[in-house]
């Protein structure tokens, strides 16, 4: 199973970053490999919004669609994504956003995944791995675009 985790500070508030990541409908505008995304279902469970989302990922001639369950917890500023269906055997990712002072937050991103087919993994595994490692950068760049650049880049 492949895993990746990163934790770093950004020049945007925790609530802003949470809202940006929670707005899954905008992912095709900026997220690497994300070609399309649709919400299949929305419900409220224990004061949390739970989405069933279908995402199409693609690169050149390769296209795959997978479905996941996204649990949005604004009180905890956390987002949990759990795999439902598609080319993976396992997929889970977690986001946590912690305030670090006025207009600054720390993002904790974790993902674990394993492809169902070894052939498919050989075909797209390294590409998917590279894209995953760029996710937090893509969200930070999107935050700069949506909320404006608020200061110099922060170091961990």
Domain locations in the chain?
2-147
pLDDT, tens digit (0-9, with 9 covering 90-100), for 83-127: 999 888 899 999 999 999 989 999 999 989 888 877 666 666 566
Does the 2-147 domain belong in CATH 3.30.530.20? yes
Place of tokens 């770093």: 8
Most distant CA atoms of the chain, gap in Å: 48
pLDDT, tens digit (0-9, with 9 covering 90-100), for 23-74: 999 999 998 888 999 999 999 999 999 999 999 987 777 788 899 999 999 9
Helix-, strand-, coil-residue percentages of the chain, each rounded to 5: 30, 50, 25
């Amino acid at each position: 199973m492949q895993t990746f985790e990163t934790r770093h500070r950004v020049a945007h508030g925790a609530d802003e970053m949470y809202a940006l990541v929670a707005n899954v409908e905008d992912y095709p505008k900026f997220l690497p490999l994300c070609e399309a995304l649709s919400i299949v279902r929305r419900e409220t469970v224990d004061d949390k919004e739970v989405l069933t989302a279908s995402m199409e990922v693609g690169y050149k001639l390769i296209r795959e669609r997978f479905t996941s369950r996204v649990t949005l917890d604004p009180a905890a500023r956390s987002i949990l994504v759990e795999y439902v269906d598609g080319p993976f055997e396992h997929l889970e990712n977690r986001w946590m956003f912690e305030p670090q002072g006025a207009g600054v937050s720390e993002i904790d991103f974790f993902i674990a995944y394993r492809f169902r087919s070894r052939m498919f993994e050989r075909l797209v595994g390294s590409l998917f791995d590279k894209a995953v490692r760029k996710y937090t950068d893509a969200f930070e760049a999107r935050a700069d675009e949506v909320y404006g650049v608020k200061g110099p880049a922060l170091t961990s």
